A and B are shown apart, each in its own frame.
Chain A
Amino acid sequence: MSAVVAARDSAEFDPGSFRDRDSRVFRRGSGLYRALSETALQDWRRLSAASFLKHDMQTGRIVRTRLVDDVPPPRDARSGEDSGWAAVLEHDPLPFVSYPYEWCFGMLRDAALLHLDLLQAALAEELILKDATPFNVQFRGVRPCFIDLGSFVQHHPAEPWIGYRQFCQTMLYPLMLQAYRGIDFQPWLRGRISGIAPGQFVRLLSIRDWLRRGVLTHVVLHAALEGRADREGKSTRQGLQQSGFNRSLILANVSKLRRTVSRLSWQESGSAWSEYDAESEPVRQDAVAKEDFVGRVVESGRWKLAWDLGCNLGRYSRIAARRAAHVVAMDFDHWTIERLYRDLGDEGQTLILPLVVNLADASPGLGWRGAERRPLERRGRPDLILALALIHHLVIRENLRLGELLEWFRLAGDRSVIEFVDREDPQVRSLLKNRTDGCEDYSRENFERELRLRFDVLQTLDLPSGTRTLFDVRPR
């Protein structure tokens, strides 16, 4: 069997790539490819000649991509027929796929700015981005990277920007919601992949908000026009073209949008969790011993993917990054992740990807067939998991069963460092003070019994505070 036939047999289309009829992502082994129709191939050739592409691929703003001729796309699963693809692009693979409903405010804003920058660059070369969704951006560490090369198409000068509404719904409005109202945008994006419609968003704003930058035009007028224009029932696009619409109007709009987005900011006065490291006495006492223990585990191997769960401000993520190719730092607190994102950006740290994730309610499969956006656990198996000062929150505050939680750890990764915090610890006492049932199953004895049922314990360390113990474990 030739290498080409073997490649065809093992390839499959990405379940999240189906909306665009001219371009579709597929995987073969660890490779990431994009099948192109004849039309998309012509657009790729135009894009290849564009001056910005090479520079943005070199700086990582656009995923490195090349045309390949020895990787055939998958055939139709039922008929076995070739689907008539004209060409295949190969993309550099991403270390970890994340979604906008897991990003912090700064990440979504940087993704929106990248989108607008690329749109401006494309228009200058008579190209345009045919959609405007944040799912077209991924993060390598804290650096946004545009991945949907199939989105660049030829632009006719009289054609309006088709992606404008999608940009508003999935990027501008969620950012305004956070900046102007202080409401976390993630549940809104997770609740509806298409984002927040203008008519819905305008109702979330007060009259005072109408005076804020960009609201009157992009929200209020947008919502009003949407209803009226839709009632006309004729081609607005054709009417605009006949009325003299031209590319300079898009450029003017994009330029104003960029100013609006870059001035959106969000500042929380401080959450309990982002001050956790600074305030808690046991945390201060234990910090050195804990860093030493985690450091020893980290130094004992080379890790492809590490997860730091309940990462707080990323102290242990940074240690993991010494020997891990990529670290995903997750915390349920939005402001904590926002601070971490800003700090990592200032440090130039590119190996740590910060995400807003509540493990007790982690991102599920979403969209068409629940497979368009994958659950957290199906986006790469970590070979190292750090769960420091985490499980008492999940068991006592989120009411997860200790045994089931440890079973999740057993299935999720190849090696874990788990911290157990005793009931006598001030943090646990604080969590338990309003519990009437006492949460009796949360005990050192019960934890160790459940742990040893599932893991080999490689080493342990009782921390100086006297109420906390670290366990370095490997699944049985």
Chain B
Amino acid sequence: MLLVVTYSRRARETLRNACRAHEETVVRKFGRAALLRETEYGAFLACRLRERHAADVQVERTEPFNEFADAPDAVREAAAAYENRESPSTPYDRFAAGTDHPESDAMREREL
């Protein structure tokens, strides 16, 4: 999908109007951002916004996140284990200490 984020009141207003007028192309609307369908028309709207508001518009192309393809096994397994922990108040790093689960700082450093 195309993620459009706006950074000024006017750009936000244009995006809102575009979303209102082209509901078929909008997957999801947020306050000042929207996800557009990945069609030529979605691209057309994104290009128009970028043309009109240049620096106040950010357009990203998003993909569904597949944790089995996009994240290392250790990360996925750590997340699952942590969410199923017995004591809900344990912070992650204390939970991970002394186990094979990666440290949060180490994960922050490593790009996917």
Partners in one complex: no
